[in-house]
Amino acid sequence: MHIHLHDQYQQAQTLIHGLDARVKVILTVLFILTVSLTPFGAFGAYIALFALIMATALLARIEPTYLLKRSVVALPFALAAITLPFTVPGQTLLTIPVFGGLTVSAEGVIRFVSILIKSWLSLQMAIILVTAFPAILWALRALRIPPPLIAIVSLMYRYLFVLFDEAMRLLRARAARSATQDGTRSGGSLAWRGQVAGRMAGSLMLRSFERSERIYNAMLARGYQGQLLGLEHGHLRSRDLVVAGIMVALLALILLLSRI
């Protein structure tokens, strides 16, 4: 049994898939920059940006529901901003009778909701970008991102799955031996369970550590000298420039309108 992430959308032949990976990386970074530069409460701009995402998804033939589901992972991180409604001064909406009365301000709520929407928008665009991961690695290299970082991302992408499989095997092995007898409860005390889980985590770490050594050996055996090399994945075509131009113009327009 293997886990599959987003790979089912990687092989399609669409305008978006065919774009130069460097252009895609730059446009996505620009998009996220635009999202973060729009002021709080500029809901018209958020809707425009969302429309832009949906248009891109449509062009890339990615189902919107898939995109929405995947981007939900952003929500827990946005909760870091949960204190804003209580701390930002402004017009009081309501008072919660705990800790001697917490006041919720309208400005704070708008700011919190804005942050929530912004992180969610940024992530959706990033998900569309990730439709061709190996090309992105090449793009990062072409954009002069430090090679050790790229190597880390590349190896993580390859071995995340392997590690996950390994963890699943460990869990399954534990489940297979977690039997019960009539009249007794399975699993022992909480402390004991904790100990088992801790040892499993430790064993996973040790295995990964040993694996990393074997991988490094395999890299050395094929001539690795401290730098991952790659082939050119493509050349800039006029189509890339046109798409980039349109996208940059749209982003600038949205940003400008949201700022007036």
Partner 1 sequence: MHHKIEVENLEFTYPDGRKALHGVTLVVQPGEKVALVGPNGAGKSTLLLHLNGILRGQGTIRVAHLDLADGNLGKIRAAVGLVFQNPDDQLFSPTVFDDVAFGPLHMGLTEATVRTRVQTALAAVGMQDYRDRISHHLSIGEKKRIAIATVLSMEPEILVLDEPTAGLDPRARRTLINLLRQLDMTMLVSTHDMRMVAELFERTVIMEDGRIVASGETATLLADPVLLARHGLEMF
Binding of partner 1 at residue 152 (CB under 8 A)? no
Binding of partner 1 at residue 154 (CB under 8 A)? yes
Binding of partner 1 at residue 214 (CB under 8 A)? yes
Q: Which CB, 202 or 230, lies closer to partner 1? A: 230
Q: Which of these, 33, 44, 2, lies nearest to 257 by C-alpha position?
A: 44
| Binding residue (CB under 8 A) for partner 1 from 13, 65, 181, 225 | 225
| Binding residue (CB under 8 A) for partner 1 from 223, 235, 238, 260 | 223
Per-residue CA distances from 228 to 131, 146, 150, 155 (Å): 22, 11, 8, 11
- Closest contact distance (angstroms) between CB of 141 and partner 1 is 12
Binding of partner 1 at residue 2 (CB under 8 A)? yes
The number of angstroms, rounded, from the C-alpha of 234 to the middle of its chain's C-alpha atoms is: 25
Residue at 72: amino acid letter: V
Chain position carrying tokens 């082939």: 231
Q: Which CB, 43 or 224, lies closer to partner 1? A: 224
Contact present, 62 and 131 (Cβ < 8 Å): yes
Q: Which CB, 107 or 165, lies closer to partner 1? A: 165
Q: φ and ψ at 90, to 5 degrees?
A: 160, -170
Binding of partner 1 at residue 207 (CB under 8 A)? no
Q: How many CB atoms are located within 10 Å of the residue 223 CB?
A: 7
**Binding interface with partner 1 (CB under 8 A):** 2, 4, 7, 11, 133-134, 137, 154-155, 157-159, 161-162, 211, 214-215, 217-225, 229-232
